[in-house]
Structure 1
Amino acid sequence: MKLTVVGGGSTYTPELIDGFARLRDGLPIDELWLVDTDPERLALVAGISQRMFAAAGHPGKVIPTTDLVAGVSDADTVLLQLRVGGQAARHGDESFPHDCGCIGQETTGPGGFAKALRTVPVVLQVAETIRKHAKPDAWIIDFTNPVGIVTRALLNEGHRAVGLCNVAIGFQRRFANILGVDHRNVTLDHVGLNHLSWERGVRVKTPSGTIDRLPALLSSHLPAVAEEVRLPASLITMLGAVPSYYLRYFYAHDVVLGEQLGEPTRAHAVLDVEKQLLEIYADPSVTTKPAQLEKRGGAFYSEAAVDLIASLLNDRGDAQVVNLANNGTLPFLPDDHVIEVPATVNSSGLVALPVAPLPDDIAGLIANVAGYERLALDAAIHGGRERVVRAMMAHPLVLQYDRAEKLSELLIAGNREHLAWAR
């Protein structure tokens, strides 16, 4: 099996390698190709990746390349983890919205919109190369943010794609730990959009059947759950569901903004971590993922990726939380909109599991953000200042026209080199 990671020079790649090595029985890899535009960084990441495979007794070969065509040729699966513009662009995403009293975040709000505008055209170009050179039935696994918008762009162009995020698997593992049960016996009633989701059930398999433990979780462990998502316990009780930590940007916007204005951006912290990691990767004696990698984020991503790819290739038909076309699952959204819900996964494709009707407040917020996402994708594909302003104004964290205009000017000025239509 040939698996390709586009953006394989990321300092996060050894987390993937660790998962591939530990879980190789479910996903045997003969060749792992790492594709990246930065040859020096790629060499360091590929070096530790090959050493990790060898130390774990994994027979797979790690092959680094800056040639996208060579990297994806005859690939069975291609995983996308791109960051167009690097951490410098991320710093802009996390800071320019502050000038207009908005939160700065790389996937949510104005910053997430900037990332979408930079990213979608590049991903679609990469996907066309995959279509031409990978195996005809190859899957594209998108971990590139904003996952919902990027995955919809891929699906609209007819690519065999699915979006993946680590939020659900992170909740699964943390809930299992709180409840003292094996995570493999825990499934979630997860619903929403990427980075706009709620856990409405925590179902635990027992010898006598499956039981929803969410009521008990909120009754006996509410302070721990509230601390995990950094939201008031009373809000979680009112919702009767656990919002992902990304909902904090909506439910506690002004609090988060105040915190951000007093701290360096996350991009600054990641730059420091990446510098440390690259120095460690250059050490030929290092054969396991370093502890510093935990500061990089993306916990359990490797497990989620292995589970998804194994099910797609081996026709397992199990349920996993993924990003896929709505197709009537949420009746208030268009069929082609990408949602994040549990779905059965097999080699022929993915089918969303039924979702119980949502309360008006949650459905309304999903519909609002989904409307912004559709306008954002239109702006990313076709460009133009007016499309940018319209999408910006549609986001529920912006809304006001004057604010949307100013944010759009800041966005365009800071990202001009990445926007072909704005040069």
Structure 2
Amino acid sequence: MVITIAGGGSTFTAGIVKSIALRREELEVDEIRLFDINKERQDKVAVVVDWVLHKELNTDIKLVVTTDVQQAYTDTSFVFAQMRVGGYAMREQDEKIPLRHGCVGQETCGCGGMAYGMRTIFPMIKLIDDVEKYAKKDYWILNYSNPAAIVSEACRKLRPKARIINICDMPIAIIDVVAAAMGIQNKKEIVYDYFGLNHFGWFTSIQYHGEDLMPKLRAYIKENKILLPESYLKGMGALTSSSSQNRHTKGSWYYVWKGEYEIMENFPEYLPNTYLNYYLQAKEFVEHSDPNHTRANEVEETREKNLFDGIDHYLKTGEVDANTFYAGSHGDWIADLSAALKNDTKARFLIITENRGAIPNMPYDAMVELPAYIGKNGPEVIARDNIPLFQQGLMMQQLNSEKLLVEGCVEGSYEKVLQAFTLNKTVPSMSVAKAILDDMIEANKGYWPELH
């Protein structure tokens, strides 16, 4: 049983590997392979992974570290895909170029997300083709490479038969925060309903042991004017502290969690995905953004620095600070998802999938985010009734922006990509869309296909 992590040089890799290793009996995993095109970075991360597997957890799981496609994927059963095309240097451009033009600068939303999407589409298609060529025939790709909405639409359009499930950890991070705010210890016992697109959705119900938590949650958010647990509210300094272990509560994230209160003051029925702030409060987010110091810089100064400083310290002294070796808890969720596929458990997960009538008043081919039961044959999506007009209208605008972007990227059409930028809710006008796009074309030379 082989699991390959594509993007092995990620700061999240050690945490994901630990989650796999802790489920080694469920997954019956014999070998973990790290694959990345950045050898130097991956080799450093591999030091941590080796420590996790063979010293911290004392497993006999074999570790292979490679930059060779064939070695990475031959006879693998699962591929966890977490690529970041262009690295943090290009993420910084994604965030800072739109801000220069007075628009939201964010890595997965708005123009930044579209730029990142256009860099990622063809590398993801190549990954699918490589896995199809070398892996076991019943392989599964679990893709959480951002921007997942655009990537999943491209996969649907270009490789519709691929055995790929597109996922996102942000709803899980929101449930983590909800559990902490409500004083719930076992977050796995929370059951929720949700609909939307990736980074563009709403929780319609959240239940714990049969109790509807939404009234309590609304009251909590209204009282505290933010969706963060009390432990964070008592010491707001932790939000910007490099030692804070929750990557979704750093610096600029404060405004995102505060935005939950502001949105629900106007639209209290559903709990919004935090990313909806960038669309519903675009003006406000631009106003409190620093165009010279964005989230990419925050990550480089905290998570990135902590990990690689920790690795250097370990190599010099043999001493380990485990707090620097892990980032994010989404590895648990990904490992659980792979266990559900392997063992046919029919456990419930939130996934990105082709609609096919599951939301009746959304297009059949829309890539939507919905709960599904996961078994050996893949997801069984849980259908729902029509969604309200407000949410449907927002989703259609975003969906069509993403579809136009994918079409424009595949066809090399400047006009369609410009239409995608113009249609996006974070952009105020056609002329602003064009100015941003032209700057993005210059910044993404060598990454984007040529647009004509």
TM-score with structure 1 setting the length = 0.93
Distance 1:227 1:176, change over 3 A: closer
Say whether residues 1:235 and 2:263 are aligned partners.
Answer: yes
Q: Which runs of 5+ in 2 are unaligned?
A: 229-256
CA contact (8 A) 1:332 1:367 kept: no
Aligned to 1:278: 308
Give, in whole Å, the separation in 2 of the partners of 1:189 and 1:276. Answer: 36
Query: Are 1:165 and 2:168 counterparts?
Result: yes
After TM superposition, the structure 1 = structure 2 runs for residues 9-408 of structure 1, keeping only pairs within 5 Å, are 9-54=9-54, 55-156=56-157, 157=159, 158-181=161-184, 182-205=186-209, 210-220=210-220, 222-224=222-224, 226-228=226-228, 229-231=257-259, 233=261, 235-237=263-265, 238-261=267-290, 264-273=293-302, 274-282=304-312, 283-284=314-315, 285=318, 289-291=322-324, 293-294=326-327, 299-398=328-427, 400-408=429-437
Name the CA shift for 1:57/1:420 in 2 (closer, same or farther; >3 Å): same
Which whole-Å CA distance do the structure 2 matches of 1:401 and 1:139 have between them? 41
Q: Distance in 2 between matches of 1:224 and 1:305?
A: 32
Moved more, 80-89 or 331-340: 331-340
CA contact (8 A) 2:143 2:166 kept: yes
Q: Does 1:2 align with 2:2?
A: yes
CA drift at 1:307: 1.3
Distance in 2 (alpha carbons) for counterparts of 1:276 and 1:174: 23
The alignment partner of 1:175 has SS state of: helix
Deviation of 1:293 after TM superposition, in Å, equals 4.5
Shift of 1:44: 1.2
Q: Is the 8 A contact 1:97 1:104 kept in 2?
A: yes
C-alpha displacement of 1:413:
0.9
Shift of 1:25: 3.6
Q: Is contact 1:106–1:112 with CA below 8 Å preserved after alignment?
A: yes
Return the alpha-carbon distance in structure 1 between the equivalents of residues 11 and 182 of structure 2: 33
Instruction: Output the amino acid matched with 2:6.
Output: V
Post-superposition offset of 1:317: 0.4
Counterpart residue type for residue 106 of structure 1:
E
| Residues 356 and 332 (structure 1), Cα distance of their counterparts in 2 relative to 1, 3 Å cut | closer
Q: Size of the alignment, in residue pairs? A: 415
Alignment partners' CA distance in 1, 2:223 and 2:145? 32
Contact 1:18-1:289 within 8 A present in 2 as well:
no
Residue 286 of structure 1: CA displacement? 5.0
Q: Which shows bigger deviation, 358-367 or 85-94?
A: 358-367
Displacement of 1:417: 1.5
Mapped contact 2:53–2:61 kept (Cα < 8 A): yes
State the shift of 1:123 in Å: 0.8
Q: Is the 8 A contact 1:155 1:161 kept in 2?
A: no
Aligned sequence identity (%): 27
C-alpha displacement of 1:220: 4.5
The one-letter code sitting in structure 1 at the alignment partner of 2:108 is T
Q: What secondary structure sits across from 2:226 in the alignment?
A: helix
2-structure distance, mates of 1:136, 1:400: 48
Q: Which moved more, 1:255-264 or 1:317-326?
A: 255-264
Worse-superposed segment, 75-84 or 267-276: 267-276
Asked if 2 retains the 8 angstrom alpha-carbon contact of 1:226 and 1:236, the reply is no
Structure 1: gaps spanning 5 or more residues:
none
Q: State the secondary structure of the residue aligned to 1:231.
A: helix
Contact 1:15 1:289 in 2 (8 A): no
Distance 1:422 1:364 in 2: 29
Separation of aligned partners in 1, 2:429 and 2:131: 40
Which amino acid in structure 1 is aligned with residue 217 of structure 2?
Answer: L
Structure 1 CA distance for aligned equivalents of residues 166 and 43 of structure 2: 27
Could you say what secondary structure the match of 2:359 adopts? coil
Alpha-carbon offset, residue 399 of structure 1: 5.3
**Alpha-carbon distance in 2 for matches of 1:326, 1:267:** 33
Give 1:149 shift. Answer: 1.6
| Superposed displacement of residue 100, structure 1 | 2.0
Q: Return the letter of the residue paired with 1:246.
A: Y
Q: Are the structure 2 counterparts of residues 261 and 279 from structure 1 closer, same or farther at C-alpha, using a change threshold of 3 Å?
A: closer
Q: What's the TM-score once normalised by structure 2's chain length?
A: 0.87
Across the aligned residues of Structure 1 and Structure 2, the Cα RMSD in angstroms comes to 2.0
Distance 1:232 1:168, change over 3 A: closer
Distance change in 2, residues 1:27/1:287 (3 Å): farther
**How far off is 1:262 after superposition?**
5.9
Quickly say closer, same or farther: Cα 1:9–1:334, change in 2 above 3 A. same
Deviation of the 1:225 alpha carbon: 7.2
Structure 1 residues 225 and 352: alpha-carbon distance in aligned structure 2, compared to 1, 3 A threshold: farther
Greater Cα offset, 285-294 or 2-11: 285-294
